[in-house]
């Protein structure tokens, strides 16, 4: 099948994303961690869903992504793959699931495809991850790279800081991007780097480059869905655009519910189940109770 014949409803693959880059069509990607979000993203026609380890912060309430485990990721990836039929699905390898040895990395990468229904995995890091990436790719598992601000290295980076702002650091990023491509990555994410540096990398690589806080010159964009929806209000990164304020909507709905319950406006008769008059009277007799002013419908 030629990728250019792809029409709505067909599965998006790594080849589809490569074809989009070739045609100059922008790639859309968002994160999901559960079934209903995956379903909505799929219906909205978003090309790719990342089950990011941002899960740890925006869903599980950790301060960083460092506490996220393989079991957390597999559990949430399974839910996402049950919801999405069309989008290309990427499972994010959590901290310490791929750094110790290539063998361990390969086994954990395999779990995302075998147990969780993902199409590919993503891992963070540049040149030092090249041999691990090559081992995973050789086993038939597509790998997406992640350069720039890599949250699993937050302790080493000293905080959530823009990367690649000096000529030397930017040159190193360009080199790392080439190294990841040569190691077999089918795509790479650039996070929080200057827009012109990201554009240079995008022009130089043959594989799709997806940006998050990397300007408009990339082949596509990814955001954490909770930032876009406004359902994570601890902080919103400068690079995220808020399309909704779900935290406020949720709080308002929860207040209205609590108000209705305490003022007896909920549940109403239409939310209740009813017993027939005869059966209810028989029950009253059995219990030797007098029907008060119960409303028997
Ligand atoms: O974990 C995640 O959601 C990510 C994106 C920020 C790219 O890695």
Output the pLDDT for position 297: 45
Tokens for 5?
A: 């014949």
**d(CA 279, ligand 1 centre) in Å:** 58
Rounded (10°) CA dihedral 119, 124, 127, 129: -60
Residue ranges of the domains in the chain?
Answer: 3-223, 250-288
Of 212, 239, 240, the one to substitute when testing ligand 1's pocket (max ligand atoms within 8 A of C-beta) is 212
Report whether the peptide linkage leading into residue 267 is cis, meaning its omega lies within 30 degrees of zero: yes
Output the pLDDT for position 75: 98
Tokens for 76?
A: 């949430």
Instruction: List, run by run, the mean pLDDT of 10-residue segments along the chain (297 residues).
Output: 51 98 98 98 98 98 97 98 98 98 98 98 98 98 98 94 97 98 98 98 98 98 97 88 96 98 96 94 92 58
- Ligand 1 atom nearest the C-alpha of 65 is 1
Output the pLDDT for position 235: 81
Evaluate: CB of 224 within 6 angstroms of ligand 1: yes
Give yes or no: 191 in active site. Answer: yes
Evaluate: CB of 49 within 6 angstroms of ligand 1: no
The whole-angstrom separation of Cα 114 and Cα 272 is 44
Q: Which residues of 135-168 are buried (b: 16+ CB within 10 A; e: fewer)?
A: bbbeeebbbbbbbbbbbbebeeeeeeebbbeeee
Output the pLDDT for position 77: 98
Output the pLDDT for position 4: 41
Output the pLDDT for position 5: 41
**Kind and range of the H or E run holding 71:** helix 70-83
Predicted TM-score of the model (pTM): 0.93
Rounded (10°) CA dihedral 173, 178, 179, 184: 130
Evaluate: CB of 222 within 6 angstroms of ligand 1: yes
CATH number of 3-223: 3.20.20.60
Tokens for 60?
A: 């599980």
Q: Which of 181, 191, 270, 279 is catalytic?
A: 191
Residue 148: which of 140, 139, 157 has the closest Cα?
A: 157
Output the pLDDT for position 295: 54
- Ligand 1 atom nearest the C-alpha of 53 is 1
Half-sphere exposure of 175 (CA within 13 A, CB side): 9
91: helix, strand or coil: strand
Tokens for 226?
A: 């909770």
């Amino acid at each position: 099948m030629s990728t250019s014949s792809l029409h709505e409803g067909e599965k998006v693959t790594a080849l589809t994303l490569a074809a989009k880059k070739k045609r100059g069509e922008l790639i859309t990607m968002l994160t999901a961690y559960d079934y209903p979000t995956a379903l909505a993203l799929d219906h909205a026609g978003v090309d790719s869903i990342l089950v990011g380890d941002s899960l740890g912060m925006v869903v599980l309430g950790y301060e960083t992504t460092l506490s996220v485990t393989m079991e957390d990721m597999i559990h949430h990836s399974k839910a996402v793959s049950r919801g999405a039929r069309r989008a290309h699905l990427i499972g994010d390898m959590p901290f310490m699931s791929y750094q110790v040895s290539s063998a361990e990395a390969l086994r954990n990468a395999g779990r995302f495809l075998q147990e969780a229904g993902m199409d590919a995995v993503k891992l963070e890091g540049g040149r030092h991850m090249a041999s691990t990436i090559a081992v995973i790719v050789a086993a038939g598992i597509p790998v997406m790279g992640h350069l720039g601000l890599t949250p699993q290295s937050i302790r080493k980076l000293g905080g959530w800081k823009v990367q690649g702002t000096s000529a030397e650091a930017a040159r190193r990023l360009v080199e790392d991007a080439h190294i990841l491509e040569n190691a077999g990555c089918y795509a790479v994410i650039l996070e929080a780097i200057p827009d012109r540096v990201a554009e240079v990398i995008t022009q130089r690589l043959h594989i799709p480059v997806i940006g998050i806080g990397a300007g408009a010159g990339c082949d596509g964009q990814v955001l954490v869905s909770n930032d876009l929806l406004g359902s994570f209000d601890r902080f919103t990164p400068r690079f995220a655009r808020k399309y909704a304020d779900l935290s406020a909507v949720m709080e308002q709905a929860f207040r209205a519910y609590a108000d209705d319950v305490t003022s007896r406006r909920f549940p109403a008769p239409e939310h209740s189940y009813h017993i027939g008059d005869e059966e209810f009277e028989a029950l009253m007799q059995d219990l030797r109770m007098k029907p008060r002013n119960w409303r028997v419908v």
